[in-house]
Amino acid sequence: MDVVDTWTGRTACALQAAMRLTNEGFAAHLGVGARTVAAWHSDPTIVPRADMQAVLDTAYERAGETVRQRVTLLTRPPEQRIQAQALRVAISVVVRGREVLLVCRRDGEPGWQFPAGIVKPGGSPEAVAVRETHAETGIHCAIRHHLGNRLHPVTGALCDYYLCDHLMGDAANNDPLENADVQWVPLNVLPRFIPTDRIYQPVLVALEATA
């Protein structure tokens, strides 16, 4: 979860927009007067007093992850916001018993990762997850369920995560221009390949249940 160091009128209004609330609704949610919210809209540079900072911290922390993702997006510069909105990625978390399928990016950034593919406008992320997994690794898989989505903290892309079951095929590096290696990795050594703090939390929960 991104941390807001200091709330300003601008970031407070971003939280309001992310929560889809009117001025009156946001004021009621925070337990403040509607004039306070209106003042934030009038002066985006205003810095609320310390007790109000704490109230906004609590509202942000209690908001769902989707709301926090919207705040992150809304507080970015416009050019970054457009780029993030334009790029959508489908990610396959393919399990086979107590193993998970990983690919290693040739450019080393971010290195080992789950198979993924870019979703074109109007495309189906589910179809991309299955198709790109096969194209990259030779593995046929089936989606078990959607694990959620987030704005990636590094790339800013909107990522959809899918827990998938291995159906058939042997792991092979079928995209040597993009990837350096493909492996089935035992779940108990996954942190050696991808640091735990970089893995989307619902993915960790799903893999722990699988293990």
Q: What is residue 71's predicted lDDT score, i.e. its pLDDT? A: 84
Which tokens in the block code for residue 194? 């991808």
Beta strands in 41-113 (DSSP E): 88-96, 99-105, 112-113
Decide if 147 contacts 137 (C-beta within 8 A).
Answer: no
Pairing of strands 158-168, 140-151: antiparallel
With H, G, I as helix, E, B as strand and everything else as coil, classify residue 134. helix
Q: Domain-by-domain residue ranges, the chain?
A: 9-75, 83-210
Q: What is the DSSP letter of 120?
A: P
pLDDT tens digits, residue range 61-114?
Answer: 998 777 887 788 777 765 555 455 557 899 999 999 999 999 998 876 668 999
Name the CATH superfamily housing domain 83-210: Nucleoside Triphosphate Pyrophosphohydrolase (3.90.79.10)
Decide if 89 contacts 76 (C-beta within 8 A).
Answer: no
Residues in Cβ contact with 34 at an 8 Å cutoff, skipping those fewer than 6 apart: 23, 24, 27
Decide if 13 contacts 41 (C-beta within 8 A).
Answer: yes
Pairing of strands 88-96, 158-168: parallel
- Give the DSSP per-residue string, 13-51: HHHHHHTT--HHHHHHHHTS-HHHHHHHHH-TT----HH
Where the chain has pLDDT below 70, the residues are 1-2, 77-86, 108-110, 153-156, 211
pTM over 0.75? The answer is no
Q: What is residue 177's predicted lDDT score, i.e. its pLDDT? A: 85
Which tokens in the block code for residue 69? 């993702």
Q: What is residue 110's predicted lDDT score, i.e. its pLDDT? A: 64
Hey, what's the torsion of the CAs at 13, 14, 17, 21, to 10 degrees?
A: -50
Q: What is residue 108's predicted lDDT score, i.e. its pLDDT? A: 62
- Identify how many contiguous H helices and E strands the chain contains and give both numbers: 9, 7
